[in-house]
Amino acid sequence: MTRLSPRSLRRLRASLKKSESQRTRAEPTSKPYTLPSLQGLLVDDLDAPDDFDSSTEQDLRMMVRRDDKLTLTETTYKVKNRDPSLQLDKGAYVVCLSIAGEWRIVWASCDTYEDLLE
């Protein structure tokens, strides 16, 4: 085991104290981290997979915020369902996160908005 001299020990303690104060102090200009996410409507029904290791997928028409309201775009993404208890109907509004290179559904509405797809 290496022993530190009293001077080195004081320097180490001062350095640790300084880095601790920097970690706990929030910078007024810092911005919150935003996760890569998608929101939109399912183009067709989405079945539940057999288990967590498998998945089902469906196209999602992306919604974006324009002029302070959500607007459905023509852009589509393939989204995956890995939840064996989740089955969704066409027009379901879902929110997806990018997880392990896939757009995975993390929240879905109970209602459907199929009329918006036409």
Structural domain including 80 reads 37-117
pTM of the model: 0.69
Residue-wise pLDDT tens digits, 6-23: 887 777 777 766 655 555
Q: How many domains, in total, are found in the chain? A: 1
CATH number at residue 94: 2.40.50
Residue 14 within any structural domain of the chain: no
68-116, pLDDT tens digit by residue? 888 999 999 999 999 999 999 999 999 999 999 999 999 999 899 998 9
Residue 8 to residue 67: CA distance in whole angstroms: 59
- Give yes or no for residue 42 having a pLDDT over 80: yes
Q: Is residue 50 part of a domain?
A: yes
Mapping DSSP to helix (H, G, I), strand (E, B) and coil, where does residue 114 land? helix
- Determine the pLDDT at residue 75: 94
